[in-house]
Amino acid sequence: SPAQPSMAMHAQKMGCAWGRLCLLLSLLLQLPGSQAKCYFQAKAPCEYEGKQFSLGESWLSTNCLLCTCLHPIGVGCCETTQHPIDFPDWCEAHYDSQTCQISV
């Protein structure tokens, strides 16, 4: 029947989309710096500051989160700032919100 080939093609496209989604999620969780925190917002729209994003597209938010569109299931965001974890007590960490960097 003619419906079967289109069903197979639809299933193949869905499998490919889920494969790309899994790859994106694994990349999000492997950003440089083991101290980076990642967040997932289910059903969040792929929109930031009035701009629409497509599956796989990313943007940097004003609070230094790198967000990736995972349409239709939501948005994944990870911190881009690497936090120092081992420095002397007499040192201070300074955060620059313009560059998303922390200096000690």
Domains of the chain: 34-103 (2.10.70.10)
Residue (of 52, 57, 60, 69) closest to 100 by Cα position:
60
The pLDDT of residue 35 is 56
Q: Tell me: pLDDT of 1 over 90.
A: no
pTM across the whole model: 0.57
Phi, psi of 73 (to 5 degrees): -95, -5
The pLDDT of residue 59 is 95
Calculate mean pLDDT across residues 62-75: 92
What's the chain's average pLDDT? 74
The pLDDT of residue 102 is 78
Q: Are 96 and 88 in contact (CB under 8 A)?
A: no
The pLDDT of residue 15 is 46
Q: Are 71 and 55 in contact (CB under 8 A)?
A: yes
The pLDDT of residue 68 is 95
* 49 φ/ψ sector (left φ>0, alpha ψ -120 to 50, else beta): left
Q: Tell me: pLDDT of 7 over 60.
A: no
The type of residue at 29 is L
